Amino acid sequence: MSRGWFYVFFLASGFCGLVYEIVWLRLAMAQFGITAPLTAIVLSAFMAGLALGSWGGGRLAAAAGGRSPRAALRLYALAEILIAALGIGVPAWLRAGRALIEGTESAAWNSAAYYAASGGWVSLALLPACLCMGATFPLAMAAMRRSAGGRRPPGFSYLYAANVLGAAAGTIASAFILIEIGGFRNTLLVTATLNLAIGAAAWLLSLTVPAGVTEARGDDSGEPVADPGADAVRDPWSGAWGSAALLSFLFITGLISMAMEIVWVRLFTPFLGTLVYAFAAILAIYLAATFLGSVLYRQAVARGAASGRRPDGRWAWLLLGAGGLLPLLTADPRLPLWDGLLTGALRVVAGLAVFCAATGYLTPMLIDRASRGEARAAGGAYAVNVAGCIIGPLFASFWLLPSAGEKGALALLSAPLFAIGLMATRRAGPDPATSRAAAFGAFAASVALIWGTRDFATLFPHREVRRDYEATVIAATVEGEKRLLVNGIGITALTPITKMMVHLPFAFLPQPPRRALVVCFGMGTSFRSSLSWEVPTTAVELVPSIPPLVGYFHPGASELLRSPLARVVIDDGRRLLEREPVLYDAITIDPPPPIEAAGSSLLYSSDFYALLRRRLAEGGVLQQWFPDGEPASLASVARALAGSFPHVRAFRSVEGWGIHFLATERVLEAIGPTELARRLPARAVTDLLEWWPGVDPAEPFRAVLSQEVPIGDLVALAPRAPALSDDRPYNEYFLLRRAFGFGL
């Protein structure tokens, strides 16, 4: 049986695995929230399934596969078929879990309890398919080994290279093509079909494999089954390590590489932006460079087979330590690269290539060393590596970044890699002087990177910087204008538009509101405006560091946070509405720009509006803000609102840009600007005119009412645009539409 079949299988299954991860993560966010803890839960469940599946698959390969290549290959085929069957059912399981939790309607659902319940359900939904994914590596290794007929079968690194290449392709295809064309669920259907095809092909292939073939004694990684100590002479560094040390190195590399991925997102977002394409670019570059490193390792193995010397990896460890700090240089804002996604991608490529290539070299090398070609040992070693991948993102998000910042986090993460690199040079082979000189040079270059580079925040001389598990937040004054930036992206400014997001819907109510909700705190302007009506107001904000900065933007406003009428909740807006069965007379939503930002569709979708309808009191009003953006996205949002509420009106803002949507269950009163202004309490009038001294309070309302736009006109901007939904995030995925007119 040709080993090329397995390369194709793992190329395709790597493609599927990344698509599953992307789609499942997004669908879980839609059901349970878009917070960092929830994201960590989903990724941890995914990685835990891979780790347990790899460990269990190794034992299954040894116990059930026996010495029959046909049995081992059929077990592999069955795993791929189960991935398809279980993977396509994940959305239904997630919806069922949300319905079950929501159905309790319990006031006892605090945030921690909700996380526990939703996290437990997400794990139950994802684990079965992920267990099968993890099992594929050892099962395929067993099938290859037992069908080798005395020849050397390929080792773990052969499958690893194919899998990583497929994962890179899956990242690009899903983000740039599949999701825009078919939405999340159709993308999942295509992916499951591909998994099913892999399983069917492997099963058919098993029919051509003899039931019993002599097992090979080694593999092409150069790792013999017997006499492990014999290679110590030919490999003076890694041949001297025991299996416990190799496994610890695997754990460390998994933890550090995934932790660094979290840091890279913070570092490069100011240059790439917050589009889904930006995050896909980081992941694709990471995987492509990892693939390159694994190819270099395979080439080193081939050269070593001819020379009788295995690749020892000590140079890779030095590159790993120094390469971990290169992003500090390429993310330095003083570099003249500011022109969007392309130049931002150049920063990412230059910053990540060395580290990721070294990771791609070392990971399969360590697993080959630890397993020596045995499927069971390879499964256990890969499980240890994935276990580190589980801890890495949690470690970076919840401790390293908040306490040490981006530069400190990379320095601390690189330190263990340098320590291993120094140990490698002490065990150097024929030229220890060269090895030690290289180690000193790498260390000196790293010190220069730490002390000689600047981060994005240094662009703002007058600033306050806060970091938490969600984001790095900068409050700055630029040319006299106060700005709020989250991960380097400008979120909002002091503008009367954010006041009208509250005063306009409140004034349309037939009686003063009794309870109000503001989704997205921002600079706190809308929150202040709501409190000026002396109405109990809940503001929900995703990023913990933002609300304490309200005093920077509005002097004296910090006292508002202590008002008995004020309540600020750190959570995702959808999660709050799901877990608290509270009715509001007015809800105002101001999603962060740009309209195409990753995850923004969850605050514009028809699924979200269905939830909002349930949380509006009788006669209540929803205010949805839509900043200027693509006409097709505006039409998609307008269609979603029109299909969700019986009555929707749209107005351009007092500054002439952006749209205030007002959605209700009843027809809004036909009243003019003078009557709307008359309904404002004295404190609300003062708040409205804070930046318009001497203006008649009816004037801002007149400016808005005079710019009403029929909802049908907005839908007609793109008649073929679908109603924006959780499954079809039309605003976020737009590349084919804008480049080729797809779907217009």
Is pLDDT above 60 for 574? Answer: yes
Is pLDDT above 60 for 701? Answer: yes
pLDDT at 153: 61
Q: Is residue 229 a part of any domain in this protein?
A: no
Same domain for 214 and 277: no
- 165 C-beta neighbours (distance < 10 Å), count: 22
What strand order describes the sheet that includes 566-570?
Answer: 566-570, 537-541, 516-519, 584-589, 616-626, 659-664, 647-652, 708-709
Same domain for 249 and 206: no
Same domain for 289 and 213: no
Instruction: Tell me the mean pLDDT in the region 68-83.
Output: 90
Name the residue with higher pLDDT: 310 or 620: 620
Same domain for 373 and 279: yes
Is pLDDT above 70 for 219? Answer: no
Residue 227: pLDDT band (50, 70, 90) is very low
Is pLDDT above 90 for 41? Answer: no
Query: Pairing relation of β-strands 489-493 and 584-589?
Result: unpaired
Name the residue with higher pLDDT: 112 or 602: 602
Distance, CA of 231 to CA of 238 (rounded, Å): 9
Residue count of the chain, please give it: 744
Is pLDDT above 60 for 148? Answer: no
- Give the chain's radius of gyration (CA, Å): 28
Q: Is residue 577 a part of any domain in this protein?
A: yes
- The boundaries of the domain holding residue 628 are 497-740
Q: What are the pLDDT digits (tens) for 264-298?
A: 999 999 999 999 999 999 999 999 999 999 999 98
Domain boundary (401, 429, 459) is at 459
pLDDT at 595: 94
Same domain for 703 and 629: yes
Query: Pairing relation of β-strands 616-626 and 659-664?
Result: antiparallel
pTM as predicted: 0.90
Q: Is residue 468 a part of any domain in this protein?
A: no
Strand partners, 498: none
368 near 379, Cβ under 8 Å?
A: no
Give the rounded percent of residues in the chain with a pLDDT score beyond 90.
67
Same domain for 438 and 529: no
> Which H or E run contains 517?
strand 516-519
Q: Is residue 17 a part of any domain in this protein?
A: yes
Query: Pairing relation of β-strands 647-652 and 566-570?
Result: unpaired
Which of 218-227, 245-254, 540-549, 685-694 bottoms out in mean pLDDT, i.e. has the lowest?
A: 218-227
Same domain for 506 and 370: no
In three-state form (DSSP H/G/I as H, E/B as E, the rest C), the secondary structure along 616-636 is EEEEEEEEEEECCCCHHHHHH
Q: Is residue 483 a part of any domain in this protein?
A: no
Is pLDDT above 70 for 222? Answer: no
Q: Is residue 231 a part of any domain in this protein?
A: no
Same domain for 506 and 450: no
Distance, CA of 239 to CA of 47 (rounded, Å): 29
Q: Is residue 111 a part of any domain in this protein?
A: yes
Give the rounded percent of residues in the chain with a pLDDT score beyond 70.
89
Backbone φ/ψ region at 149: left (φ over 0), alpha (ψ -120 to 50), beta: left
Is pLDDT above 70 for 105? Answer: no
Nearest residue to 258 (alpha-carbon basis) of 395, 363, 162: 395
Residue labelled with tokens 């330095």: 332
How many domains is the chain built from? 3
735 near 180, Cβ under 8 Å?
A: yes
Q: What are the pLDDT digits (tens) for 357-379?
A: 999 999 999 998 888 778 888 89
Q: Is residue 484 a part of any domain in this protein?
A: no
- Burial profile 234-270: b = 16 or more Cβ within 10 angstroms, e = fewer: ebbbbbebeeebbbbbbbbbbbbbbbbbbbbbbbbbb
Residue labelled with tokens 């490698």: 424
Structure tokens at 328: 């500090």
Q: What is the DSSP string of 638-706?
A: HHHHHHH-SEEEEEE-TTS-SEEEEEESSPPP---HHHHHHTS-HHHHHHHTTTSTT--THHHHHHHHT
Same domain for 212 and 329: no
Is pLDDT above 50 for 231? Answer: no
114 near 98, Cβ under 8 Å?
A: no
Distance, CA of 20 to CA of 191 (rounded, Å): 8
Residue labelled with tokens 């809800």: 587
Distance, CA of 624 to CA of 608 (rounded, Å): 12
Residue 119: pLDDT band (50, 70, 90) is confident
Nearest residue to 397 (alpha-carbon basis) of 317, 487, 463: 487
724 near 180, Cβ under 8 Å?
A: no
Strand partners, 517: 538, 587
Same domain for 509 and 451: no
Is pLDDT above 90 for 106? Answer: no
473 near 543, Cβ under 8 Å?
A: yes
Is pLDDT above 70 for 250? Answer: yes
Q: What is the DSSP string of 455-496?
A: -GGGG-SSEEEEE-SS-EEEEEEETTEEEEEETTEEEEE--H
Which of 50-54, 74-78, 318-322, 590-594 bottoms out in mean pLDDT, i.e. has the lowest?
A: 318-322
The CATH number covering residue 652 comes to 3.40.50.150
- 94 C-beta neighbours (distance < 10 Å), count: 24
412 near 396, Cβ under 8 Å?
A: no
Please say whether the dihedral angle defined by the alpha carbons of residues 545, 547, 548 and 550, taken in this order, is positive or negative. Answer: positive
Same domain for 287 and 143: no
Strand partners, 477: 482
Query: Pairing relation of β-strands 537-541 and 647-652?
Result: unpaired
Same domain for 155 and 268: no
| Average pLDDT of every residue of the chain | 88
Query: Pairing relation of β-strands 566-570 and 489-493?
Result: unpaired
pLDDT at 370: 86
Domain boundary (399, 434, 459) is at 459
The CATH number covering residue 312 comes to 1.20.1250
